[in-house]
Structures are given as C-alpha cells and as structure tokens.
Amino acid sequence: MSTRTVLQAADIQRALTRISHEILESNKGPDGLVILGIPTRGVTLARRVAALLTEISGTPVPVGSLDVTMYRDDLHRNPTRTPQPTEIPAGGIDGKTVVLVDDVLFSGRSIRAALDALGDIGRPSVVRLATLVDRGHRDLPIRPDFVGKNLPSSREERVNVHLAEIDGSEEVTIGS
C-alpha cells in the first residue's frame, strides 16, 4: 500500500488563508457570515477559517458545528457513526451567509445531509461550501465555492486529512 503526501502543514495553512480571503471577497466583507464545520475535521478547519477571517477583517466571525449524522442516507451501511454536537452561534443562521466547511468533498452526500440539517435549524439567505480537498467523484450535483486543492483520484484511493489538533500531525495524504 503506497501513500504519498499531497499537502504539508504550510500548504494547508496557505490554502486556508486563500479560502478565507476568497470568502471575504465573495461576501464583500465579514458582515452576516457564519462559519459551520462538519464533524470531525471540518469543525477544526472551520475554527481556523473563522480565526483567519477575524484576523484579516478585524471583525469577529461566528463559528459553530453542524452534525449531519442523522441526516445521512447511508446510515444502513455505516451504522456506527457517533453523533457529534451541533453548535449554532448565538445570532443563529436566519438571513445569514452560512459557509459550510468540510475536509474532503467526495460523493457530496455529507453536504446534502448538511443542507437538510440546516433546513431544520433555520433559513440562511445564502449557503456556500468550502473544502480543503475536492477529489471529484460526485454522486450528487454539488460543487464547492472555495477549494484548497483539487485532487483527482480514483474511487479506490483514500484521501486522509491529518490535523494537529486531532491527529498530532498536519498533512493530507492519498493512498490505495
């Protein structure tokens, strides 16, 4: 089994900084932004993006998490998923621009589940998607607005995101 590193710590930081600038440009500033991470690594990435947005703009950007476990359409195949907490910032999401953050975009099923979960929480004015890695192979017509790295891969390959806060290392690898 061969594994190769496609992003190192500095590459991840650069990608998140670029994504943060793109979010601010797209939104014309930080007003009305809410950043929501999809567990597990999407939450860590969302916190980093929110911190960068706050640093760049000088205005605090609310951040939270959105658990999609019970909204997934593949629970019959993966019944061992443990729900994580959903944490919506105090101002809620109604009328806001919500940026969903995930680590790897693959089939699009997690994002579809996130959209369903959002609908039960409130009604944002706009929903955008930021992902560290887009590997293609969509099952659903979902496309990210902000991408750290497009990584063409085969369905058999596995993309692993390692973040210091969770894994003790910082890299993105791909392997068979």
Query: What domains, with CATH codes, occur in the chain?
Result: 9-73+85-154 (3.40.50.2020)
| pTM of structure | 0.95
pLDDT tens string for the chain (176 positions)?
689 999 999 999 999 999 999 999 999 999 999 999 999 999 999 999 999 999 999 999 999 999 999 898 876 676 666 788 899 999 999 999 999 999 999 999 999 999 999 999 999 999 999 999 999 999 999 999 999 999 999 999 999 999 999 999 999 999 98
pLDDT at 109: 93
pLDDT at 74: 74
pLDDT at 147: 98
**HEC string of the chain?**
CCEEEEEEHHHHHHHHHHHHHHHHHHHCCCCCEEEEECCCHHHHHHHHHHHHHHHHHCCCCCEEECCCHHHCCCCCCCCCCCCCCCECCCCCCCCCEEEEEEEEECCCHHHHHHHHHHHHHCCCCEEEEEEEEECCCCCCCCCCCEEEEECCCCCCCEEEEECHHHHCCCEEEEEC
pLDDT at 83: 84
